[in-house]
A and B are shown apart, each in its own frame.
Chain A
Amino acid sequence: MRSSEITPKRLYVRRREFLKLGAGSALALSLPAFAKAKVEHGPKLAGVTANPKYALPEEKKNAFEDITTYNNFYELGTDKSDPSENAGKLQTRPWTVSVEGEVGKPRKWDIEEILKSFPIEERVYRLRCVEAWSMVIPWDGFPLADFLKKHDPTSRAKYVAFESAVQPQMPGVKGYAGIPFPYLEGLRIDEATHPLALLVVGLYGEALPNPDGAPIRLIVPWKYGFKSAKSIVRIKLQETQPQTTWNQYGGGVEYGFYANVNPEVDHPRWSQAKERRIGEFSRRKTLMFNGYPEVASLYAGMDLRKFY
């Protein structure tokens, strides 16, 4: 043993003090980190027009900072602040979206082509997370129905499956996140072609920030947030109901395939009757289908307690 490895006597006699100091600072340091990284604004999107039908004038929009620093995006880490801190670990160019399966015209799109091919509109939607918090967000995008139509879905296209990107440098993908990757989501075809279902490429008129699922994501506002897959690389139309990440995980313990916002059906670990709007102090009542009653006809005759 080298003499340099021996603890100096001066420190040795003070070891108790050190242990105390160590215990104290370990306690302080081990608190969850709330430090949030500022997310940079993306370039302005050209030709965005606000759709007055989905303006939600009665709701107060959440700030850019809240929308970009409080996210669930397990590929970038499991803490709410991880996606903004690790935003740089998502590479959004080059980016291709492959449309395949039960379609007459399968196609691999470059993201730039998508941005040029579809007129982008702004829609203000409520977003209700399964964790009982919510936001009001001005998304920029185009109806998923318009996008799917371009590929001539066949009569066997009963469902649409979405696959999110997996990139080797993503911290959540490298480590243990508790769920398998790629992240998989899915919709029934009539849900996917509902006018509310949106493919989103922007936020507040600017290119979608990375923590929110850049460069292209799904938004289905009447369902819990996790249904709205982020950073999509593959859209597959198919005859059978697709496997989804949270449905697979733990044998569907976390949530079912439909995951419609429903104040009557509890989450296994908490009630869904109320929610906290980010920026508000008291909880507010959660609305059926997140306040989008126009989707109710999609589920006519279905027991929503069973198909939750």
Chain B
Amino acid sequence: MKKALVPAAFAACCVPLLWLGIQLLTSNLGANPIEALLDGLGYVAFVLLALTLACTPAQILLGWKWPIRIRKLLGDFCFFYACLHLLTYTVIDQGFDLRAIAKDVLNHKFIFLGISTWLLLLPLAITSTQGWQRRLGFRRWKRLHRLVYLAGGLASFHFLLRFKTPRLETVAWIGVVCALLLVRVVEAARRRARVIESP
């Protein structure tokens, strides 16, 4: 049971990729498959980011320890889908027109937020291994990985700006991310209070 957790989570994380791949190969992504692929990959990356952010609150609120065991896996898969999302945008959608991409990034906060999120996730993905944890020292490593909170915020706004009007679904997801971050703030405040009460 315990042993099955990580492989099961790994398999679950592969499902969206397989599903998108099958839909693409069977021409089931509609009239604009590139847009559908871009949206699909971005969506999965966002959901995985939210799930990664949910592991600690699950421990704090529900006492579950098992999500922590798959947190690294979820984070790595989040970055994997974010990379596919970025590649789809730069290579397929924009045809690797670097000038057009640079203009998009500089002139439009929607694209700027997306790229920023990926750039924030990059060092976290690189240093997600135990080796890097040791090399940096746990405290410094932990401080670095707090960048994921910022990434969650930027990704939320990127997602919100995807549509002409704020969609209920997107707003709900942003609410989820806010709640997950709030749990940490409250927990940190409680801990500080406990330390003061019992010196």
Interface positions of A (Cβ within 8 A of B): 16-17, 20, 23-24, 27-28, 30-32, 34-36, 65-66, 69-70, 78, 80-81, 133, 176-179, 246, 249, 254, 266, 268-271, 273-274, 276, 278-279, 281-283
Chain B residue at minimal CB-CB distance from A274 = B100
**Does the CB pair A278–B31 fall under 8 Å?**
yes
Residue B95 interfacial (CB < 8 Å): yes
Considering the chains assembled together, what is the distance between the CA atoms of A23 and B127 in angstroms? 26
DSSP class of A's interface residues: helix, strand, loop or mixed? loop
Identify the closest chain B residue to A226 (Cβ).
B164
B110-A32 in contact (CB<8A):
no
7 A-B contacts, Cβ less than 8 Å apart?
Answer: A20-B9, A24-B15, A31-B20, A31-B43, A34-B23, A78-B163, A271-B103
Q: For A178, what are the chain B residues with a Cβ–Cβ distance below 8 Å? A: 163-167
Please encode chain B, from 26 to 50, with 1 for each CB lying within 8 Å of some chain A CB and 0 for all others: 0011111011100110011001100
B8 at the interface (CB under 8 A from A): yes
* B35 / chain A contacts, CB cutoff of 8 Å: 133, 276
How many CB-defined contacts (below 8 Å) exist between A and B?
Answer: 108
7 more contacts with CB within 8 A, not counting A269-B109, A269-B111, are: A24-B8, A24-B11, A24-B15, A28-B19, A32-B40, A270-B108, A270-B111
Cβ of B123 within 8 Å of any chain A Cβ, yes or no, is no
Query: Is B124 located at the chain interface by the 8 A CB criterion?
Result: no
Decide if A20 touches B8 in the complex (CB within 8 Å): yes
Q: Are B36 and A271 in contact (CB under 8 A)?
A: no
Give bound CA distance, A141 to B20, whole Å. Answer: 39
Q: Does B12 contact A270, Cβ atoms closer than 8 Å?
A: no
A24-B12, A133-B32, A268-B108 given; A32·B95 CB < 8 A: no
Partner of B12, one of A16, A27, A32: A27
Complex interface: chain B residues within 8 A of A266 (CB): 107-108
Find chain B residues with CB under 8 A from A269 CB.
108-111, 161
> Would you give the 0/1 interface string for B66-103, flagging 1 where the beta carbon is closer than 8 Å to chain A?
10000000000000000000000000111101001001
Is there an interface contact between B32 and A278, defined as CB atoms closer than 8 Å? yes
Instruction: Kindly list chain A residues whose C-beta atoms are within 8 Å of the C-beta of B94.
Output: 283
Instruction: Please report the C-alpha to C-alpha distance between residue A65 and residue B28 in the assembled complex, in whole angstroms.
Output: 12
- With A34-B29, A249-B165 known as contacts, the answer to whether A283 contacts B95 (CB < 8 A) is yes
Most buried by B among A35, A70, A81, A271: A271
The reply to whether A34 and B28 contact each other, CB–CB distance below 8 Å, is yes
Which chain B residues lie closer than 8 Å to A177 at the CB level?
A: 165
What CA separation (Å) do A281 and B8 show in the bound complex? 36
Please name all residues of chain B whose beta carbon is closer than 8 Å to the beta carbon of A28 when the two chains form the complex: 15-16, 19
With A269-B108, A274-B100 already in contact, the answer to whether A32 and B43 are too (CB < 8 A) is: yes
Q: Which residues of B contact A31 (CB under 8 A)?
A: 16, 19-20, 40, 43-44
- State how many angstroms separate the Cβ of A275 from the closest Cβ of chain B: 11
Distance in Å: Cβ of B102 to nearest Cβ of chain A: 11
The verdict on B179 contacting chain A, using a C-beta distance below 8 Å, is no
Residues on A with C-beta less than 8 A from B148 are: none
Q: CB-defined interface of B152-188 with A at 8 Å, one 1/0 digit per residue?
A: 0000000001011111100000000000000000000
Give the residues in chain A near B108, CB-CB below 8 Å. 266, 268-271
Q: A69 vs B29: C-alpha distance in the bound complex, in angstroms?
A: 11
| Separation of A23 and B28 alpha carbons in the complex (Å) | 24
Report the minimal beta-carbon distance from A270 to chain B, rounded to whole angstroms: 6
A184 and B92 CA atoms in complex are apart in Å by 36
Asked whether B34 lies within 8 Å of A276 as measured between CB atoms, the reply is yes
Inter-subunit contact A70/B5 (CB<8 Å): no
Residues of A within 8 A of B28 (CB): 34-35
Contacts A78-B167, A176-B168 given; does A27 touch B100 at CB 8 Å: no
| Chain A residue contacts of B32, Cβ below 8 A | 70, 80, 133, 276, 278
A residues in contact with B20, CB < 8 Å: 31
CB of B122 within 8 A of chain A?
A: no
Report, nearest first, the 9 A-B pairs whose CB atoms are least far apart. Answer: A178-B165, A24-B12, A70-B31, A66-B31, A269-B110, A28-B15, A34-B30, A278-B31, A20-B8
Instruction: Contacts A20-B8, A268-B108, A271-B103 given; indicate if A254 touches B164 (C-beta within 8 A).
Output: yes
A284, B40: Cα distance in complex, Å: 23
- In the bound assembly, the distance between CA atoms of A254 and B11 in angstroms comes to 41
A249-B165 Cα distance, complex, nearest whole Å: 9
Q: Which residues of A contact B47 (CB under 8 A)?
A: 27, 30
| Set of chain B residues within 8 Å of A283, measured between Cβ atoms | 93-95, 97
Kindly list chain B residues whose C-beta atoms are within 8 Å of the C-beta of A179.
165
A271 pairs with B100, CB closer than 8 A: yes
Question: Distance in Å from the Cβ of B108 to the closest Cβ of chain A?
Answer: 5
